[in-house]
Each structure stands twice: as structure tokens, then as C-alpha cells.
């Protein structure tokens, strides 16, 4: 059901710079026999596309390749349960269901990083914006010479055999609409296009390409080229960082690598290299 089909949605054309997505055209362009994407649904609004799709998967009402897109999220979540809010139709807010049963579960942790590579690839092609990845799941753009966060990724298990990966990208947010000064958008970064239909198609096509490559390699990040490509686009590597770790522990050092398990390796001043699998990373200015 597209926003055009939603009864009583009188606000859908309130901002002519932000037209609704065309679900029928998206399906024609992306859903094909033998392809990954099995269905695309666009809803006017919801709390969280991730929560909705996880619930559908648990109830057996979603197949691999299901894509749920919301024109507006009222309870979108980032990592560490941070809230993600934006005006209606100002960004891309969507979740996909993946069931990589032919890949060892130990390698499923690469899915958020894989999605980050796909999002960066798709946006580079369709928006003409240079993007960078902040480990593990933030999308950075440059606005006025400063790095700003324009998107994020959140992966959640969906039963025993699935993973729902949610993506939020700020597309047309204006400076006065930013939730925090460190946020950004594709428009503020000088995107050549902010038409959300081709942007979404570009991201989903890139995600299908990388997911197929990763599965064909049984999830091996080296054989699939994922580890090398992620490292090449990761703005965190080579930087001095602080990792805020579980248990109120922090670690300061240089981010030197992303290992075979997708963990960030930090070299401390004591000469120890410590891999970090979960935590909040802060980019620090050079000492």
C-alpha cells in the first residue's frame, strides 16, 4: 500500500519538495524472479520498520527479501536504543529481512558492515555524494568541511534463521531540521539528486549485489572482498578513537584494523592491540 492509498492522509503533499515514494514503480524495478527482493511495501508511517518486520518474520508473515519502507518513523531506533526521528518523507527509512542459512551464524555479524558498504556504494552511484563509514554502522557525509552523520544501520535477529537490517538515511533534511548539530543529510552534502525513488533502488541493488557475493563465499569476508572494501571506506581506521565499552569501561588508542570477525582493532598507548566487538566509538582529534 503506497501513501497515495492511505485514506485521510491529507498531509502527504504538504511539502512539494518531498513527494511520496512510488511503491508500484519500486516493485517493478526491484522485484524479479530469481532476485533477492521478494516484496516491497511502503507505509505512510509506523513506529519502527525494524520492529514491524521482526514481528512479521516471527509470525511467518514475511519471506526473505521482504522490504518494509516507512515515509515517517515515530519510534525509529539506532544502536544503544537511541531515538531516530525526522520529518515525513525527508529520508529513507526501511528494513529488509535476510535469511542467510547457508552462512555460518558466526559470520552474520558482518551483515551491518555489508549493509554499510552497500549503502555507501548505492548512494555514490545515485546521489553523487562521497560517503564514509564510521565503525560499526554510521554513514558520514561532509558538510562545510565537517564530518556529519547522515545515516545509520541497525541489525536484529528475527527468530532462529533470520536477520532484519534497518537503514535510516537523511536525504532532504535542512539545517534547521537537524536533530543535533552533528547530523547531516545528502542535500546538505551537495547531492546531485535527492529523488528518493532512484536512491532507494540504488541502495537495494547494491545490497543485493554484496549479499549475493558474501553468500557465494559462505560469508567469508576475505574471499568476498567485503573486509577489504569496508576497510577502504571506513573513516574510523587510522584515527585516534575512544571506545565506550559495556561495563562503563573505555579504551583510547588508534583504530588500526577491522579483523576477520568485523571487530575494530584498537592499538593502545601501552602497545596492546585490543579487538572491540561492541561499543560506542568516538573519533578524537589528534593528540
Q: What is the pLDDT of residues 3-54, one digit of tens each?
A: 333 433 444 445 677 999 999 999 999 999 999 999 999 999 999 999 999 9
Instruction: Give the Cα separation of 175 and 193 in Å (integer).
Output: 18
pLDDT, tens digit, 9 for 90 and up, residues 234-277: 999 999 999 999 888 999 999 999 999 999 999 999 999 999 99
pLDDT at 112: 97
The stretch 56-69 carries a mean pLDDT of: 97
pLDDT band at 82 (very low <50, low <70, confident <90, very high): low
pLDDT at 11: 46
Cα 77 to Cα 19, 24, 46: the distances in Å are 24, 27, 12
pLDDT at 10: 42
pLDDT at 74: 86
Sheet of 162-170: strand order equals: 39-43, 66-70, 91-98, 162-170, 146-158, 138-143, 132-134
pLDDT, tens digit, 9 for 90 and up, residues 103-148: 999 999 999 999 999 999 999 999 999 999 999 999 999 999 999 9
Spatial CB neighbours of 29, under 8 Å, sequence gap ≥ 6: 201
Closest to 173 measured CA to CA, from 155, 153, 148: 148
pLDDT, tens digit, 9 for 90 and up, residues 162-183: 999 999 999 999 999 999 999 9
- What's the whole-number average pLDDT of the chain? 92
Higher pLDDT, 120 or 79: 120
Residue 84 has pLDDT above 80, yes or no: no
The stretch 61-66 carries a mean pLDDT of: 97
Amino acid at each position: 500500500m503506497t501513501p497515495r492509498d492511505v485514506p485521510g492522509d491529507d498531509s502527504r503533499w504538504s511539502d512539494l519538495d518531498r513527494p511520496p515514494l512510488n511503491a508500484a514503480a519500486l516493485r517493478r524495478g526491484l522485484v524479479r524472479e530469481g532476485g533477492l527482493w521478494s516484496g516491497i511495501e511502503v507505509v505512510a508511517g509506523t513506529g519502527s520498520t525494524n520492529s514491524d518486520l521482526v514481528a512479521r518474520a516471527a509470525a511467518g508473515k514475511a519471506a526473505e527479501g521482504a522490504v518494509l519502507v516507512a515515509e515517517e518513523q515515530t519510534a525509529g531506533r539506532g544502536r544503544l536504543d537511541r531515538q531516530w526521528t525526522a520529518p515525513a518523507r525527508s529520508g529513507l527509512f526501511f528494513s529488509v529481512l535476510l535469511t542467510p542459512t547457508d552462512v555460518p551464524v558466526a559470520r552474520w555479524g558482518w551483515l551491518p558492515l555489508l549493509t554499510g558498504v552497500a549503502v555507501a556504494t548505492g548512494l555514490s552511484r545515485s546521489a553523487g555524494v562521497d560517503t564514509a563509514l564510521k565503525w560499526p554502522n554510521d554513514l558520514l557525509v561532509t558538510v562545510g568541511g565537517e564530518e556529519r552523520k547522515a545515516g545509520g544501520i541497525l541489525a536484529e535477529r528475527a527468530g532462529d534463521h533470520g536477520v532484519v537490517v534497518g537503514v535510516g538515511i537523511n536525504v532532504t533534511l535542512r539545517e534547521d531540521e537537524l536533530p543535533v548539530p552533528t547530523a547531516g543529510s545528502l542535500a546538505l552534502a551537495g547531492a546531485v539528486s535527492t529523488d528518493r525513488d532512484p536512491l532507494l533502488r540504488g541502495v537495494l541493488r547494491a545490497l543485493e549485489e554484496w549479499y549475493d557475493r558474501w553468500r557465494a563465499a559462505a560469508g567469508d569476508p576475505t574471499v568476498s572482498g567485503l573486509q577489504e572494501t569496508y576497510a577502504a571506506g571506513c573513516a574510523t581506521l587510522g584515527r585516534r578513537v575512544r571506545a565506550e565499552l559495556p561495563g562503563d569501561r573505555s579504551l583510547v588508542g588508534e583504530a588500526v584494523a577491522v579483523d576477520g570477525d568485523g571487530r575494530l582493532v584498537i592499538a593502545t598507548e601501552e602497545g596492546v592491540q585490543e579487538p572491540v566487538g561492541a561499543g560506542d566509538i568516538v573519533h578524537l582529534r589528534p593528540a
